Structure formats: C-alpha cells, structure tokens
Structure 1
Amino acid sequence: MSIPRKRGWLAASIAALLVAPLALIAAPASAAPTAPSGVTVVYTEGAKWDTGYSGQLTIDNQSSTTLDDWTIRFSLPAGAGITSLWNATMERSGSDYTLTPPGWGASVPAGGTYQIGFNGSFSGGDTAPVNCTLNNAPCAGGPGEDDTEPPTVPGDVSVLGTTATSITLQWTASTDNVGVAGYEILGADGEVVRTVIGDTTSGTVGGLTPDTEYTFGVRAFDAAGNRSDASPPVTARTAERNGGQPSDDERRVGYFTQWGIYDRGYLVKNIDTSDTAAKLTHINYAFANINRNGQCFQVNQAGQGDAWADYGRSFRADESVDGVADRWDQDLRGNFNQLLKLKEKHPHLKVNLSIGGWTWSKYISDAALTPESRQRMASSCIDMFLRGNLPPFDGAGGPGAAYGVFDGIDLDWEWPGSEGHEDNIVRPEDKENFTALVREFRTQLDALEQETGRYYELTSFMPADPEKVEAGFEVEKIMPDFDFVTVQGYDYHGAWEDYTNHQSNLVLVEGDPGPRFFSSEIAIDAWVDRGADPADLVLGVPFYSRGWTGVQPGPNGDGLFQQATGPARGTYEDGYEDWKRIRELPNRGYTLHRDDEAGTAWLYNGSTWWTYDDEISMKQKVEWAKGRDLNGVMIWSLDGDDAQGSLMSALDEALDS
C-alpha cells in the first residue's frame, strides 16, 4: 500500500534524486589552511525541468567538535545559476557563490548534518558546483575518480517501532568502495518517501494514518549518485490512535506560540526535553489568521502570518524533537513538522489549531455573518490545517503536506459582541452568529470524521468577564457542540490600570480597588449560571507575570493595591514578564508575599511590584478547580516555564493527587 499522504511538486521531484560529487579543485597553497577533518560537503541534485533544477548542499560533520561557523565558496558552470535558496545567506559575483550561515546561526554539531537547499536555472549541461572550498580549504570528503561501484543492498531490514502516525525501520549498513552517503526509504510503489543523509542504520517515515498497513524498502546511495538495488520489502501496521471523545481525566492544555521560537528560543523540542509533553493532554497552536474574505490563509508577512515558522523553517538536528535535521526538500518543515514528531513520540497528545487570538480576530465577525461566509471560513480552515492542504511556500507545502498534525480546531474569537483589539469588527448580532459558526464547524468536523475515520475536537477560549459572556455567547446553545472550553483565568488586572492588583486571584480579596472586580470564581460562575456544565470547563492559568513600577509600600508594606507610575520594565513587553525570569527576583532584592486563599503570590522591592504564580499557587489553583468540579487547567503559554518544566510539574502533581 502506498502512502496516502500527498506530496508537493518539489517533494515529488526529489523522487528522482541524483547525488553528484562536488568537483573538488585544490585552492592555492597560500589560501588553503588544513581542511576541517571529518567534515564532508555533499551536493545532491533533484530533477531538472524545462528552465531550472533543484539542489542541496549537506554539511556532514563527523568530527568530534562542533563546526561553529562556515563559509562555502564554489562556482557554477556557464548557463547555471541559483535563483532562490534557504538555510544560508548567499553572495554572488558572476558564476562565483559564497554561502554563509543565515541570521539565526547554523552551527553544525559533532555527528550532525546541515542542509542548504536551493532552486536554480540552467540552459542545459552540468549544474554541479566546482572549485568548492569550506572555510577556505578544499571541501573534504569528495569521491575518488574510481567511485563507480554502487553500494551493496542494505541488509536485514526490519521494523524497529511504530506509533499511530509513524513507522521506524532499521537495517544493516551497506558498504561502498568509497563510502555510503545516505539511504532512501521507498514506498510500495517505489517512490522515495524519506531520504536520510549519512551512514546511519535507521529512519522514520511519519505522517501516516493510524491502524493502516504500509510496505517499505530501503536502498543506499554514495556521493557519486550510484544506488544499490532496493532491499526486500517489509510490511508493518501503524498503531491505533486513542480515538473518540476525550476521557474523563483532567485535561492539561498548553498553548504553544508560533513566535516563541524567536526571542524566547522556545522550540517544540523544549516541550519534550522539559518533560512537559508527557504531562499534557492537549497543545493549542497559536494562531491562524482570518483574511478579509473570512478564510484561513497562510502568508509570510509581518503582522499577517509566519509561514516560515509554521512549515518553512528547517530545524537543525540539535533543534529537532527526534534529533534528525529537516531536509530542504521536505514538504513539511517548521513547527508543524516538529509537532508531528512530538505526537509520534507522545501518541496520547492532541494538537488543536487555534484561530484568531487578540490580534487576528479582526475579521471573524465578517466570517460569521452569513451561512455562506460561515461555511467558507470553516471549510477553508479545515482544508488547510486538518486535511493539511498548505499553499506552496519556499519548497514546502502542497496537498496533504500537513495531514496528521492537527486533531481539531480551537476557536479564539476575542470577542464576539464585545470590544477586543481596537481594530476588530464588532456587531450586535455576533452573539447569535457565533452560535451558528460553532454549529457550522461541528457539522463540517463530523463530516470529516466520516471521511477519514478520525474524530476531530472543537474547543474554544472564553472570556472571564461576565459582561463579555452575556454580550457574546448563547451558553446553553453552544456548549453541546464543544468538547470543552477553556475559561480565561488571568489578566484580571495589569499595568493598563493605575493600581497594583492580582492578575489571577481565585476569589475577591478585601481592599481590591477595582474599578471592576474579577476573580476565577466570578468567571466560572458566569458560565455555570448560564448553563455550562463545570465538567466541560477548563481553568486558564498564567505562566507569566504582570508588573508595575513607582509603587509605594502602602500601609502593609507590601505594595498591594497601591498606585503606580507605570508598567514595570519587561524583557519583551513592559508590564509583562515570563515566569522563568520572574522566579529569579527573590535573589535580587525582592520580597515574596502570598495570599493562600486567593491562590496568589507577588514580589516587591520597594518600587517595582509583580503579581505572579509559582509552584505553590499553581497547586492552589488546581485544588480550587477540582473543588469546583472543573475538568483541568489550560496554560498561557508554555514558553513561560523554565527548562525543567517546574510549573507544569507542579500542576501535574496536583492534578494527580
């Protein structure tokens, strides 16, 4: 059986991979320091078409030290040229090219590889680089003139392991008269479904359908493009996914922010290495945007979308969940591919695509306005993210490219019928239209279940403010269509107000200066009183802090409920700071204070004041939620935790007790 996941045009073209040697010509002695020992540069050429071709350079570092910086120089034959490239910065002078690391850096760890992909144009003839140097030394590891023998067939191919969406194969290494450059895993129809660079003996094919039988073979190739015959086929069945409705266990929902991979450096891999993935039931990916036509869309434009982060960026081996670097020719890279790998490692996890958010809810009122617009919004989001039909971007995307990444939709319209972001479109009829939009999504998700045999969740992020609940939600009508909803349990107060206050208090605290009064108790009551079952509600908790400065001690000397001169300085935003940074303040002249009944903590140094949650207050919030018969907690956002996942561990321990 061939893989049902459809592949984009570029990935299909790589089915005809031709690995060719870099033509290595020694540089003059004066410009030739010792070549990096154990570092190989391999050129891989994809299929040619009428006016162009595709190619890849792989830096294979088999030395014992990290290659911290690199410069690759080469020439292309007359008539050939590079038209676009990724994972490197390029300078060109005529037919001469210089490649250096991109702005985010690209060190190559010991034992690791780094891929640089490009598209090019040619007028016929050869496109292989010549005169190649790496760090001013001749590129190491090129094939000898006698490299004409193909590698031997990989032996003893067997199934090492399976998950609901992946099959891992292992084999005995091939041999070659010069050296094996890599392996190709072939589908039942002979199509290349996975290329693994290096003389490795295992590889994983992901993006598969649960409880489905697949047949694969393996063949080896060397740096000159010689290929072995395919191994005898091996057949395996993927595991069954835990389908149907979620269990009655407490839900642990964490938001992963698309932009957290930048300044914060928080990658999908960190969800695993912090042991957070094992403790979560759901990840909500924030966010998808809605355009003027009321449709989900993908672009790579500041303020509009980040297709590069979603599925374009190639993560290095040391950045990847499974330790395998992305290849330039993959139809799925970026955060989406890493989430798929995370699910393969933790099959219990569900990942939902969150639509809207504070900034990207602008046009949802338009999208919810008519039956036609509601149908258009739901179908566009389902097609793009659940069926996985991503628009082509930088060699990635295409039909079915993201199939299997997402398990449902999380609606995050902030807010129907109420003020949210100043640019939002708001209508009085948003309340009824939201009900109809929820029904449309549920109807289309049910139809998709019939098509694929998989159940798809529908969830929503809901406000804590009773006025917003009343203005925007027909609670009794919408709740039956949701698997569960998360209720905002934070941002009750912040530096947009003049007085210090708690941002996530469970109950009202005596002396609260207002001007409006919020608490988790008030928020949950707003939903339950209007018909929501507590078992369908999940309480939001913050992995960040809100802060003020210019704060006097006040009568209790702790700065609580005191006037401030403005927001405290934050790393990414004034008045806001991640918990992992706030936790260091008690060692920097701040005093810790608590209100155990309200489940709050705060820090004060005589001038600057931060309201925040630590391990103790997180446990207090869980105990309160359990006492109200709520079904777990939701986290905004995972990148606020420390590398050890301390806050997540505290929540997990309390939920299990």
Structure 2
Amino acid sequence: MKFSILSVAAAAIAVTMAAPLTKRATDNNLVVGYWVPWGDVPISALDMSKYTHINYGFGVLWKGAASPATVTIDRYYDGDNIQALVTRGNTAGVPILISIGGWTGSQTFSTVAASASLRKAFINNALVFVRQNTAGPDAENPNGWGMDGIDIDWEYPAREGAPCNTYAPQDSANYLLLLKELRAQLDLEFPAKRKLITAAVRVQPFDDASGKPMSNVSAYVPYFDWISIMAYDIMGSWSATTGGNAPFNTPPSPGDPFSFVQSINSWRSAGWPAEKLVVGTAFYGRSQTATVNMDTQNPITMYAPHAATVPKGGPGDSNESNFYCNEGTEWSGQWKWKELRGGPLSAGPASPSAGWTRHWDNATQTPWLFNAGTKTFISYDDVQSLTVKVNHVKSQGLKGVMLWDMSYDYNAELINVLNQVHGPSPTSTSTATTTTITTPTSASNTITTTPTTATATTTTATTSTTTPGGVCVGVPAWNSATVYGAAGTKVTYGGYLYTSQWWTQGETPSDAAWGVWKRGAAC
C-alpha cells in the first residue's frame, strides 16, 4: 500500500458549514456506527437514517511510520472512501468522525502522549481530518477532509492491548494532557462549529500508574463529548472456558467478570456522567470448539472446556497476518450476524438450522449456539439480547448505543433494534418470563420452549382490546409484557390475526415487511 503523512498546511483554513444535523443527531439518543473500508457494504448502500453518527476506521499510529505522531492512511484507498462518506454524511445531516487507533493501530499512542512535541505533531496531523481542503479537489495530498470530529480508539492506556503496542504506567495521565491540548486547538480553529472528541474505551476505567482502574475519571469528562464502551470480546479463545462474547449481566463463575451492565456501573461509579456515556454492541459472535457435548451437560450451561485451536468462523473469517502488527495466522472464530443468518440461523433470527441448537443463558441474557456434530460453540447477540440492552440504556438515561460494525447486519434486523433507543424510556422494572429455545439436531427444526424467569426492564404492558371473532376465536390478544418465545405463536391485534416469526416481546404487531409479526386474516 502507499501511505501518506498528514500534516498541517500553512495556508489559511476555510471553514464551511455542513448540512443541518438531523433531530436524531442532536437529541440524547445516539446510534453510533463504525464503518471500515474492508467491509463489504459500500458507502452508497448505507441507510444513513439508521445512524446519528458514523466513525470511519481507521487512521493508525504504528512503529513503521516516519514519526510516532504520524496518522497513517492509504491516500487513495482511504481518501476516496472518506470523501464519499463525508459527502453522504453532509447530505443526510449525519456527522462523520475519523477514528484513530484500533487494536493494531495504537502502537505509538503511549510514546506520543508522553512528549509535548509529539503531542503537538499528532494534533496537527489529526486536525487535517477535520479541516476543510484548500488545496483543490485534485490535490495529491489534500490539507483537509471536512470531517466532524476525532474518535480516539487507544487500546489501551497503561496496558498492552496488541502485543506490538508500547505502553507505560503514566499513559492515562499523559492521555489527559493530550485531550486538553486537542480540545484547545479544536476550539481555537473552529470557534463557530464545535468539532467532536469521542473515544472507544474498555469495560473498566483507564488504568492508573499502579495498573488498577481509576476510581475517579471526572477530570477527563470536560474534554470528551462522549465515550463508547466496547462491551464485547468479553470471553473468547483467550478465556479458560467457553462463554459470552458480550453478556448483558456479569457471568457467574467460571465466566470472566465483565459485562454490559458491569461496564456501565464501573464507569458511572468512577464519576462518568450518564449523558456522556454510549455503550457498544457487537453485530458478531465468536466461536470455539468445546471438548464436551454442551447439549447434554447437566445442567446445560454455556461454560465448557475448549480446544486451544480457534476454529474458522463464518465464511469471511481470515487467518492472514495483520499488516501493522503481526500476531500470527490463527483464525478469529468470528461470525458476522449476516453469516449466522446465512448458516446456523438461516431459518430465522431465533430458529436454528439442522444440526444446531439455540440456547438462551438466563443469567447473562445471552443466546448461544451449539453443534453437537462438530462441537462448535458460538456466542453472539441477536434481536432478543439487543432489545434487553437497548431497554437498559434507556432506563439508565445513557447517551446511546454504538455498534461494531456496520457491514455485519442482515436486512437491518439488528440496527432496527438499536434504533429503538430513540423511543420512550421503559417505565417499569418487573419480573418477566424469558425463554430457552432449543432445536433438535435433525432436519425437523421443531422448536420447543422452556420458560424461566429473570428480572428484566420492560415497558408498561399494553394489550389489544379488540374482541376476537371468526378465525381469531380462542386466540389471545397481544400483550406488550408477554414473551412470545416460539415462532408460529398467534395473537390478535387491531382486528387481525398475527403470527410471530421469531422470539419477541414488546414489539407491536404490524404488517411491516421485515417485522417479527406476519399479519393474517381479519377477525
């Protein structure tokens, strides 16, 4: 690849205003997506109405660059995509941010943050992304890209992250210096239009000099518009057992002690305000090869010993070494949601294909799949589990949700769930019935349900009051508090008979093309 160093041009900067922001981009309910050029959904095909903000990933910091402060992109490959995404964002009123760092692109953050001169150089390089281009549309090296802000994805201050990263005990303190200087320079250059500073962070607050999560992060709050917690990759091939990739509740032992709820509580307890907290979701799952038949464990649990070798995930999984940080050539075991829907869940979002069993872990509110023939275990998020997470975000008054990544969805099934964050907040917390859905390992795909109970946040119950008649005689009216666990469940609503296509709770029956309910005959 050909890379170019981005630096500040000496010429005056011309500031132009983007299109007015949409209502969703200015309310307190964000849906932030990450778009990456190696995904297989082109910018022209994006439904911009589903997102309030989009982060372009990534500009990287790596040891092979001319300077530790160089923000590296491919001038031609990334450049064309950035221009196209900014153009679409401006038209739709969706702010576009550059995300700098990432798992293998955070190699020199520690070095940069520790040096006043390198911080200044980094800021100059980073601001090229948010300045307007004055070098002309055909310039070999534009001096601006017109983006709306900078998302810092330092993985991670004061701890290693990828094995090629530099890190030091003073990273978090130096990070604060970098943020102060970045915010000051942005405000100086853009007094009329605020440029955003956001960050992707781990499930615990930044580490202090002793290597422990900080108990007070309030000093960082003024410099970020929000942070997005990466509440996924909790358990995987690196864990002692199989377990949830992105559990809602903290897993019981032997699960790793992190989760969606734990991450929120950890940051809030350290002084991070709810109105600046976005929580990330995963549009993918992770697979491992169990060493036992998890369908016949007593009791059935999502925790089991696994083989050391990571199995190949979905069709798009790769075992190529990374250009920036050579971590070897093992498979990731990742299954994108659309790959799950084309394979193990091809019969429906909660309907496993032949050979697979779908389980619901009530403790963590997490679905998982198991194939007894191959002993393949997959933990993932789906419509059911994301609904739980979105309801919690609303009930806690948080800023919104983030997703990785925008190319992984299938027919907008998951992004539609995240967009429920724009709706009214849940008004009650009650004990609701959840389900464990399993499918025999045969071609019949018969679905059986076993009701269990768990405490969950739900909306106030509403019930259809239409008196059923005709084909609807004996069919219960739809109720928003009821869990409809089995595909094929019939209800009445608004004078019509409806049949569920997969697990659902609280979704009002309608004749929407891709909805959970299919409308039948009039009552």
* Fold equivalence (TM over 0.5): yes
Q: Distance in 2 between matches of 1:366 and 1:447?
A: 25
User: Cα distance, 1:552 vs. partner?
Assistant: 1.8
- 244 and 386 in structure 1: CA distance in 2 versus 1, 3 angstrom threshold: farther
- C-alpha contact (below 8 Å) 1:590/1:605 kept by paired residues: yes
Return closer, same or farther for 1:522/1:414 CA change in 2, 3 Å cut-off: same
Give 1:478's aligned residue: 220
Higher alpha-carbon deviation: 603-612 or 337-346? 337-346
Map of 2:338 onto structure 1:
580
Q: Does 1:631 pair with 2:394? A: no
Q: Select the residue among 281, 284, 306 that pairs with 2:55.
A: 284
Q: Deviations over 1:293-316 (max 9, x none)?
A: 232344xxxxxx4333212xxxxx
- In structure 2, the partner of 1:254 is 33
Describe the shift of the 1:396–1:594 C-alpha distance in structure 2 as closer, same or farther (beyond 3 A).
Answer: farther
Q: Deviations over 1:357-390 (max 9, x none)?
A: 11011111111112222111111110x2112559
Asked if 1 retains the 8 angstrom alpha-carbon contact of 2:106 and 2:154, the reply is: yes
Q: Partner of 1:227 in structure 2?
A: none
Q: Secondary structure at the match of 1:411?
A: strand
Partner amino acid, structure 2, of 1:646: E
Cα deviation per residue 1:144-166 (whole Å; 9 max; x = unaligned)? xxxxxxxxxxxxxxxxxxxxxxx
The verdict on how the C-alpha distance between 1:655 and 1:244 changes in structure 2, with shifts beyond 3 A counting, is closer
Cα 1:357–1:391, aligned 2, differ >3 Å: closer, same or farther? farther
Q: Tell me what 1:422 maps to.
A: 163
Q: Would you say how many aligned residue pairs link Structure 1 and Structure 2? A: 377
TM-score by length of structure 2 reads 0.67
- Name which of 77, 84, 87 aligns with 1:338: 84
Extract unaligned runs of 5+ from structure 2: 1-13, 319-330, 345-351, 425-523
Give the Cα separation in 2 of the matches to 1:611 and 1:267.
27
* Equivalent position amino acid for 1:619 in 2: T
Aligned to 2:312: 569
Structure 1 residues 374 and 306 mapped into 2: Cα distance closer, same or farther (>3 Å)?
same
What are the ranges of 5 or more consecutive residues in structure 1 without an aligned counterpart? 1-206, 211-238, 299-304, 312-333
Taking the aligned partners of 2:151 and 2:226, their CA distance within structure 1 comes to 10
**Greater CA drift, 417-426 or 545-554:** 545-554
**1:651 maps to what in 2?**
418
Using the alignment, how far apart are the partners of 2:220 and 2:312 within structure 1?
Answer: 40
The structure 2 residue matched to 1:410, chosen from 151, 161, 169, is 151
Report the 3-state secondary structure (helix = DSSP H, G, I; strand = E; otherwise coil) of the residue aligned with 2:31.
strand
- The answer to whether the 8 A contact 1:259-1:309 is kept is no
Report the RMSD for the aligned CA atoms in angstroms: 2.8
Q: Which of 393, 404, 409 pairs up with 1:641?
A: 409
Corresponding residue number in structure 1 for 2:491: none
Q: Larger strand proportion, structure 1 or 2?
A: 1
Q: Which residue of 2 aligns with 1:266?
A: 41
Measure the CA separation in 2 of the matches of 1:259 and 1:296.
22
Deviation at 1:628, TM superposition (A): 2.3
CA displacement, residues 422-442 of structure 1 (integer Å, 9 cap, x when unaligned) = 111111111110010111111
| Contact in 1 for aligned 2:19/2:92 (Cα 8 Å) | no
- Measured in 2, the distance between the counterparts of 1:558 and 1:569 equals 25
Say whether 1:456 aligns with 2:195.
Answer: yes
Q: Which amino acid in the other structure matches residue 121 of structure 2?
A: R
Aligned pair partner of 2:75 in 294, 307, 324: 307
* Deviation at residue 248 of structure 1 after TM alignment: 3.8
Q: 1:598 to 1:270 in 2, by over 3 A?
A: farther
Counterpart residue number, 2:109:
364
Q: Which residue of 2 aligns with 1:230?
A: none
Residues 526 and 596 of structure 1: CA distance in aligned 2, closer, same or farther (over 3 Å): same
**Aligned residues of 2:204 and 2:213 also touching (Cα < 8 A):** no
1:505 to 223, 235, 247: 247
Compared CA separation, residues 505 and 281, structure 1 to 2 (3 A): same
Is the contact between residue 205 and residue 217 of structure 2 (CA under 8 Å) also seen in structure 1? no
> Tell me, what secondary structure is at the counterpart of 2:129?
helix
Aligned to 2:98: 353
Give the structure 1 partner of residue 444 of structure 2.
Answer: none
Equivalent residue of 1:252, what SS? strand
**Per-residue deviation at 1:397?**
3.9
Q: Are residues 471 and 267 of structure 1, via their aligned partners in 2, closer, same or farther at CA, if it must alter by over 3 Å?
A: farther
The answer to whether the 8 A contact 1:541-1:634 is kept is yes
1:598 aligns with 2:369: no
> Aligned letter for 2:150?
I
Task: For 1:367-378, list aligned pairs within 5 A.
Answer: 367-378=112-123
After superposition, the Cα gap between the structure-2 partners of 1:507 and 1:553, relative to the gap in structure 1 and judged at 3 Å, is same
CA shift, 1:344, in A, is: 3.7
Larger Rg: 1
Deviations 1:187-235 (A, max 9, x none): xxxxxxxxxxxxxxxxxxxx9933xxxxxxxxxxxxxxxxxxxxxxxxx
Which residue of 16, 20, 26 maps to 1:209?
16
**In structure 1, C-alpha distance between the alignment counterparts of 2:366 and 2:258, rounded to whole Å:** 14
The 3-state SS of whatever aligns with 2:152 is: strand
2:130 counterpart residue number: 386
Change (3 A) 1:556 1:338: farther
Describe how 1:132-151 pairs up with structure 2 within 5 A: none
Task: Report % sequence identity.
Answer: 30
Q: CA, structure 1 residues 558+308, in 2 after alignment: closer, same or farther (shift >3 Å)?
A: farther
| 3-state SS of paired residue (2:379) | strand
Note if contact 2:71-2:100 (Cα within 8 Å) is conserved in structure 1.
Answer: no
Following superposition, the deviation at residue 591 of structure 1 comes to: 1.3
Structure 2 counterpart SS, 1:567: coil
In structure 2, the CA distance between the partners of 1:472 and 1:246, relative to structure 1 (3 Å rule), is: farther
Alpha-carbon displacement from aligned partner over 1:410-454 (angstroms, at most 9, x marks no partner): 01111111121111111111111001011111111101212xx32
Provide closer, same or farther for how the CA distance between residues 339 and 534 of structure 1 changes in structure 2, counting only shifts above 3 A. Answer: same
- Change in Cα spacing, 1:619 to 1:390, as seen in structure 2 (3 Å) is farther
Q: 1:292 to 1:417 in 2, by over 3 A?
A: farther
Aligned-residue offset at 1:599:
2.9
Cα distance in 2, alignment partners of residues 558 and 549 from structure 1: 16
How far off its partner does 1:240 sit?
5.6
Q: Check whether the contact 2:75–2:141 (CA below 8 A) recurs between aligned residues.
A: no
Between the aligned partners of 2:36 and 2:135, the Cα distance in structure 1 is: 21
User: What is the TM-score with the length of structure 1 in the denominator?
Assistant: 0.54
What amino acid maps onto 1:417 in structure 2? A
User: Is contact 2:31-2:52 (8 Å) kept?
Assistant: yes
Q: Give 2:395's aligned amino acid.
A: G
Deviation of 1:242 (Å): 3.6
**Separation in 2 of the partners of 1:504 and 1:377?**
33
Give the Cα separation in 2 of the matches to 1:271 and 1:557.
44
